[in-house]
Structure 1
Amino acid sequence: MTGSQQEARAARTAPPGPPRRATIRLLKQLFTDRLALMGDNAETYGDVVRIAIGPKAMYLVNHPDLAKHVLADNAANYHKGIGLQEARRALGDGLLTSDGETWKKQRRTIQPVFQPKRISRQAAVVAAEVDALIQRLAAHDGPVEILHEMTGLTLGVLGKTLLDAELGGYETLGHSFEAVQDQAMFEAVTLSMVPQWVPLKKQLEFRTARDDLRRIADELVEQRLADPVENGEDVLSRLIASGSEDGASRERMRDELITLLLAGHETTASTLGWAFHLIDEHPEVGERLHAEAARVLGDRLPEHEDLRRLTYTVAVVEEVMRLYPPVWLLPRIAQADDEIGGYHVPAGSDVVVVPYTLHRHPEFWTDPERFDPGRFDPENPAGRPPRYAYIPFGAGPRFCIGNSLGVMEAVFVLAMAARDLQLRKVPGKVVDPEAMLSLRVRGGLPMTVHRRERTRRAEAA
């Protein structure tokens, strides 16, 4: 056998993975603990793992170089995969679920809304929304459901900064998106083998949620058509202008709005929930945040330029997203045969890059389970891992379009909350991750609110 023949045979070798007899265990993990499914197999079998469950095989990729191959270098070969395919029932062909020319056109349409200069001009709007949140929290006497508050905040910010619209009246949005995530993940783990007409409680809730989301999106479009913004730079105005130029359907506009509403609020709300949990677990981090916010901000609201000054707060946000990346799974489907890490991956295979496991890879992170914002200290850039070992916003052409707005919002919330308040988990609350389309805190996060001296002095004045 020649050297080239040996190389060809090696390239067609399947990656290692759990044996067929492990199917029952794998199915159980798929339903109940998807993070353990990914983490256990990466730890046992290495950086490329073939996980066969029933008739399907999934290829887990867990190395920076290989993530770069799938997400950037050979991105054209990998379309959206498991979970996002199922979410298409509610989200349609929005930016999150579409591929090819459709995705490219949608990206071009709304990209200008996320330009850095425009986002920086939204800082005052974000700060005002956060200030209103802090005042609401400070007025609470008993426990508050912090994830509910973060969802309300992020939806409010999204409406005013990206849509130039008020979303405060749409109180069902958060619940509807939960139902969408639940159904998408249910269909993914059951391999879509349960007919959609079966009247399960989950499926009935999904139908109600889907109708609710479509109604809200249609109302937002109708409101803007009735009251157009001259030379509007917001997403609604751009979508309407784009539709009038190429005859795009109202349905496509609705899909894009629903997708933006989900992706634009869920990831930041999840990050903030995990941040408050971790800060409560590490009070010394809370004290450093408080000291930095008091020094940088004083009594005023934050401005965009403060992102360069709130260095420790930014580091906390980055470390939170390392441990609990809001988008914990980046699923793809190979369009043609490929070779990943020397292993053959057939066309049609589900290929998943998992930021949750990649961010804990022991080769690139020291004591990876430890919460340590110092990893992102700007004074020690040499301590940072390779680029693709840290991908909380994805990578390649599909890099998250709203990353700068999300980071600004999270930094403003943590700085202002740490300056004025202390949030503590209700005693006995067990915090576990729930891996849906986003990585959220299972069952909510009730916390008690304690005002700091600065807040009391401001009230007295």
Structure 2
Amino acid sequence: METIAPVGQPVPMFAGLPLLGNTLAFFRDPLKALLTLQRQQHRMVHLRIGGRHQYLVFSPEDSKHVLQENHRNYGRSPAFQVLKIFLGNGLLTSEGDFWRRQRRLAQPAFHRQKLAALMQTMVAETANWLDELKQADRQKSVNVSQAFMDVTMRIVCKTLFGSDVATQLDGLSLALDTLNYMANERLVSPIRFPLSWPTPGNRRFRRAGVLVDTFIYGLIHQRRQNLNDSGDDLLSMLLSTEDEETGERMSDLQLRDECVTLFAAGHETTAVSMAWTLDLLAQHPDVLARLRQESQQVLGDAKIPAPELFRSLTYTLQVVQESLRLYPPAWIMSRLALGDDHIGPYTIPAGATALVCPYLLHRDPASWSEPERFDPDRFAPGGEKEQLHSYAYLPFGGGPRLCIGNQFALMEMQILLAMLVRDFDIQPVQNPPVKPQPLITLRPNRPIRVILR
């Protein structure tokens, strides 16, 4: 392979193996490799992973440069081609003028006033889920990784599609998990067979894709037949939104891609983040007690609290924010340099990949005091977070491609957490500690289990 030669001062190279470069170290334990690099205190480091030249930036200032200040020089990296296989050309994977148009069309659906209309659905679905948890055997530990997958699936179905699709949830959840798992496999595997090959995995992938497409296209077709029946769900909002410049609306294919993207993001990432939060609370009973006190005082004992009450749960939001600091779902972001870019004395050459790593930014001792410690007061008014660079904390990315559903996710996590701790105590299970597994999202290496009393 032809070597890319940066102009100016050479970027420090992370020594690797002949031919393989740093691929093996990152395949074995990417988080350990990243933390090792951070301790070397370089401004930037040059890696060779999977045959590609990658440039990892460490500081909030340089992360802002890549994601915001010079964002037009950076496109979606080759890693996003894997996600396109099942997400299509949605907001997460699209680029350029098409992405800007789609963003304009989707943005009104995530306005604060629109989201407020969805809160009642979130609260009601959470209450039903808690009723089911109360019927479970209290002597057994609960797989909260799966429990949160179940409830976030219900919430995203109701808020995105509005209709009662409960009878199809099991099959849909399994299909989405299959697509997500296969995408993870293709992302990390050095050998990728074409999807046209009839391997067992490819057949499962295609079957799952057909099931998801049949479900979503069916709902889109049904909704187009009843355009007069306007609803508050996100699909209705996306169907009715017109481009301010052209007056055009989304096609069925565009709607499908945005729905699958919102479905996958709104379901899996929130569930994983909530499971990590409960793992942290089980280890920190002092934080849990304070959280429960706030929840009981603000929400009272109504089965379905008034949605507006959740806006007063300031400490609950702090707990969510601190959990997202330690375990950001989008743990690393990659961008393809379209032209040479200069950062300080270094050059990221055209064709190379720039890496921004929230996992490192959130654990950087240059920004955070005792970064491994779980301390929600970092996010209190006047707390540590307010003194930091705005790009020291990136749980939802940054710049123009900031996650469009960030407020939706924060609102959902507050509701789930506050209502759960109001009714349940959380105790740890005496197992070896769960470790983060960096796939497409930062999942635990095994299901998180706790005891709910």
> Which TM-score applies when normalising by structure 2?
0.89
**Higher mean Cα deviation, 260-269 or 29-38?**
29-38
Asked if residue 120 in structure 1 is aligned to residue 101 in structure 2, the reply is no
Once the two structures are superposed, what CA deviation does each residue of 1:196-248 show, in whole Å capped at 9, x if it has no partner?
34555544432332222222211221231343354445432344446996485
Equivalent AA in structure 2 for residue 65 of structure 1: E
Whole-Å Cα distance in 2 between the matches of residues 196 and 265 of structure 1? Answer: 25
- Whether 2:274 is the aligned partner of 1:278: answer no
Aligned counterparts, 1:93-104, within 5 A = 93-104=89-100
When residues 251 and 380 of structure 1 are mapped into structure 2, their CA distance, relative to the original with a 3 A threshold, is: closer
Alpha-carbon distance in structure 2 between the residues aligned to 1:54 and 1:273: 31
Q: How has the CA–CA distance of structure 1 residues 220 and 428 changed in structure 2, closer, same or farther, with 3 Å as cutoff?
A: same
Is 1:380 aligned with 2:383? yes
Aligned equivalent of 1:188: 187
C-alpha distance 39-172 of structure 1, shift in aligned 2 (>3 A)? farther
Aligned to 1:17, the other structure's residue is in SS state: coil
* Letter of the 1:213 counterpart: V
Residue 145 of structure 1 corresponds to which residue in structure 2? 143
Deviations 1:74-115 (A, max 9, x none): 111111224322110111101110001111111111211110
The 2-side partners of 1:96 and 1:10 are apart by 30
User: Which piece of structure 1 moves more, 167-176 or 243-252?
Assistant: 243-252
Q: Is the 8 A contact 2:269 2:329 kept in 1?
A: yes
Hey, what's the Cα distance between the residues in 1 that align with 2:43 and 2:173?
36
Q: Tell me how far apart the structure 1 counterparts of residues 392 and 55 of structure 2 sit (CA, whole Å).
A: 18
**Which residue pairs with 2:13 in the alignment?**
17
Inter-partner Cα distance in structure 2 for 1:430 and 1:204 = 36
TM superposition shift of 1:11: 5.3
2:334–2:356 Cα contact (<8 Å) kept: yes
Name whichever of 320-329 and 80-89 sits farther off. Answer: 80-89
Once the two structures are superposed, the pairs formed by residues 12-161 of structure 1 within 5 Å of their partners are 12-21=8-17, 26-44=22-40, 46-141=42-137, 142-161=140-159
**Aligned positions of 1:309-328 closer than 5 A:** 309-328=312-331
The 1:223–1:10 alpha-carbon spacing in structure 2 relative to 1, beyond 3 Å, is closer
- State the match for 1:306 in structure 2: 309
Output the CA distance in 1 between the equivalents of 2:332 and 2:350: 20
Q: Once the 2 structures are TM-superposed, how far is the Cα of residue 420 of structure 1 from its aligned partner?
A: 0.7
Aligned mates of 1:382, 1:36 — CA distance in 2: 25
CA separation in 1, counterparts of 2:385 and 2:266? Answer: 32
Provide the C-alpha distance between the structure 2 equivalents of 1:345 and 1:363, rounded to a whole number of angstroms.
24
Give the conservation status (yes or no) of the 8 Å contact 2:318–2:377: yes
Q: Does 1:413 align with 2:416?
A: yes
Alpha-carbon contact 1:91-1:97 (below 8 Å) kept: yes
1:260 aligned residue (256, 259, 262): 262
Letter aligned with residue 236 of structure 1: L
CA contact (8 A) 1:337 1:347 kept: yes
- The residue identity in structure 2 corresponding to 1:259 is T
CA 1:115–1:203: 2 relative to 1, 3 Å: same
Please tell me whether the aligned partners of residues 153 and 169 of structure 2 are also in contact (alpha carbons under 8 angstroms).
Answer: no
Structure 1 contact 80–332 (Cα < 8 Å) conserved: yes
User: Which deviates more from structure 2 when the two are superposed, residues 47-56 or residues 296-305?
Assistant: 296-305
Counterpart of 1:122 in 2: which secondary structure? Answer: helix
Match of 2:364, SS?
coil
Report how many residues are paired. Answer: 442
Question: Which string of whole-angstrom CA distances, capped at 9 and with x for unpartnered residues, describes residues 158-179 of structure 1?
Answer: 2222332334222133333333
Give the unaligned 5+ runs of structure 1: 1-8, 451-461
1:286 Cα deviation (Å)? 1.0
- State the SS of the aligned residue for 2:17: helix
State the match for 2:216 in structure 1.
Answer: 217
CA RMSD of aligned residues (A): 2.6
Q: CA deviation at 1:400?
A: 1.1
**Whole-angstrom CA distance in 2 between matches of 1:415 and 1:165:** 26
Matched residue SS, 2:450: strand
The 2-side partners of 1:382 and 1:180 are apart by: 36
Deviates more, 1:430-439 or 1:181-190: 181-190
Structure 1 residue corresponding to 2:345, chosen from 342, 345, 348:
342
Q: Secondary structure at the match of 1:336?
A: coil
TM value normalised by structure 1 = 0.88
**In structure 1, what residue type is equivalent to 2:442?**
L
Q: Residues 361 and 112 of structure 1: is their aligned pair in 2 closer, same or farther, counting only changes over 3 Å?
A: same
User: 1:346 Cα deviation (Å)?
Assistant: 1.1
Q: Distance in 2 between matches of 1:166 and 1:13?
A: 60
Q: Percent identity?
A: 34
Partner of 1:173: 172
Cα distance per residue 1:357-405 (max 9 Å; x no partner) = 1101110011111111111112536754211000101111111111111
Q: For structure 2, list consecutive stretches of 5 or more residues without a partner in the other structure.
A: none
> Residue 307 and residue 238 in structure 1: after superposition, are their counterparts in 2 closer, same or farther (change >3 A)?
closer
Cα pair distance change 1:51/1:199, threshold 3 Å: farther
